Amino acid sequence: MTNNKVITLLGCVFFFLLVVFPAEHMSWKLPFVILFVVIALVKVVVVNRQPIYRPLLVVLFAIIAKGIIWTAIGIFNGNRGVIAVLNINLTWYFLFSLFMILIDNIRMYKRLLTTLLFASTFIVVFDLIYIFMALGFIPYFDTSFLYSPSEFNFSIYSGAGFSYLSANNITVLVFVYPFTLSLLFTPNSIGSNKLRIFVLVICLLQIVLAIFSGRRILFLTVLLSPFYIYFFAIFTKKAKRRAFFDRSVQYFLVLSFMFVILLKFLLSSLDFSLTTLSERLFSAFDSDKESIRFVQSEMLFAEFAKSPLIGHGAGAEILNYKRSSKWPWAFEMSYYDDLFKSGLLGFSIFLFFALGIFRSGIRLVRKHNDSLMIGLLSGFLSILIANATNPFLSSFDCFWMIFLPMIYINIKEITKSSNE
């Protein structure tokens, strides 16, 4: 029991670092990674049972096999970036599979979810304080001890009607906003009224930060999250579904009212323009205003057409196009990139992996009216959609967004099997 408490505490500290400091302070995280890998390997040897639910084991085997096969193809083709992307294609899946073995009970898992809520609250409050400092609303203080100044800055585009926050930590909202919103929408997911009010305030602050950030993917996340949640709620039983829709309408109206008041303040006090904000959102779909991604898509698809079945292998480059001189094999358009490098066969394996998680999660929602699973699946769908034009899942610090739903499914199914 004591050992479990220590592992849980260390796991929560590590998870907090992953969420709050993506791509920062790797020296803080490395000792945790080594420790957890050793403990997980010992556990696999000592515990005489299958630690991973069989359907999840199948999809994990498939995605790891994909990494091995297309790394070999990349080596065979002499791709320069094959070693550089080895972690993304293979290592991170191994590591997080081992982490999944360690988190084997619901109490430990809920401690991680509590950590996630505190970590995301820290990010929202810190980023808003940073923005208010930049606007001159509060006195300035040095934040470079937490975040690198080159990776963390805020700009108001005077006369343009919008602002932009450059910060890696804001990525967490893509997963956390739909998850947090689902806690409000689903009955019995939050025990006390005080905690529900806290979550409501956090949701509103997340919306504020999304607007200030100028990030179109966050605008879309805020707009689409209710639809993600409604979709997965369809799979609950009829009585639960009715209670869900009644509650969601109430909180949606409250958030909408508070959002209108906030927007009015921004438009009047900070020279924000509603027209410019909407144009900025829809410019993502305009090939003239977002030419880099459209050109990239066309070139990746043209190269994919040259080897549509198996692609060109991990670490492949486009000879006459370099998005980055440092990483010429890296592209924003993640799914076009996957088609280019792994072809229809490899991309089908990724779809099998993602759909396998959705299938197992929806099964829990359907059988047990699992409201927590609705939020986790909503966050998972959100990050998969966002990943299409922003390669979030190419980062070690964002891989938890894939595995958090998997860990919950694994605990629920393994626990059920043990009790039968």
Q: Which SS3 state, helix, strand or coil, does residue 218 take? A: helix
Q: Which SS3 state, helix, strand or coil, does residue 248 take? A: helix
Question: Which tokens is 152 given?
Answer: 């963390």
Residue 220 to residue 285: CA distance in whole angstroms: 12
Burial 126-164 (b: 16+ CB within 10 A, else e): bbbebbeebeeeeeeeeeeeebeeeebebebeeeebbbe
What integer pLDDT is reported at residue 25 of this predicted model?
Answer: 79
Q: Which of 255, 293, 263, 291 is nearest to 162 (CA)?
A: 263
User: Residue 326: left (phi > 0), alpha (psi -120 to 50), or beta?
Assistant: alpha
Contact 382, 228 (CB under 8 A): yes
Q: What residue type is 136 in one-letter code?
A: G
What integer pLDDT is reported at residue 277 of this predicted model?
Answer: 60
| pLDDT per residue rounded down to tens, the chain (420 residues) | 456 788 889 999 999 999 998 878 788 899 999 999 898 888 877 765 668 889 999 999 999 999 999 999 999 998 988 998 998 888 999 999 988 988 888 999 999 999 999 999 999 999 888 888 877 778 877 777 787 766 666 665 444 455 667 778 889 999 999 999 998 887 666 667 788 888 888 998 998 888 888 788 888 999 899 999 999 999 988 777 777 787 788 777 888 887 788 777 766 666 666 666 666 656 655 555 556 778 888 889 999 999 999 999 998 888 877 777 778 888 888 999 999 999 999 999 999 999 999 999 999 999 888 889 999 999 999 999 999 988 888 888 889 999 999 999 999 988 765 444
Residue 35 to residue 182: CA distance in whole angstroms: 34
Q: Give bridge partners of residue 318 from the DSSP assignment.
A: 321
Q: What is the pTM of this model?
A: 0.91
User: Residue 107: left (phi > 0), alpha (psi -120 to 50), or beta?
Assistant: alpha
C-alpha 111: how far from its chain's center? 19
Contact 311, 304 (CB under 8 A): yes
Query: CA–CA distance from 16 to each of 6, 32, 230, 327 (Å)?
Result: 15, 12, 29, 29
Burial of 243 (0-12, 13-18, 19+ CB in 10 A): middle
Burial 266-284 (b: 16+ CB within 10 A, else e): beeeebbeeeebeebeeee
Residue 379 to residue 397: CA distance in whole angstroms: 16
Residue 101 to residue 219: CA distance in whole angstroms: 35
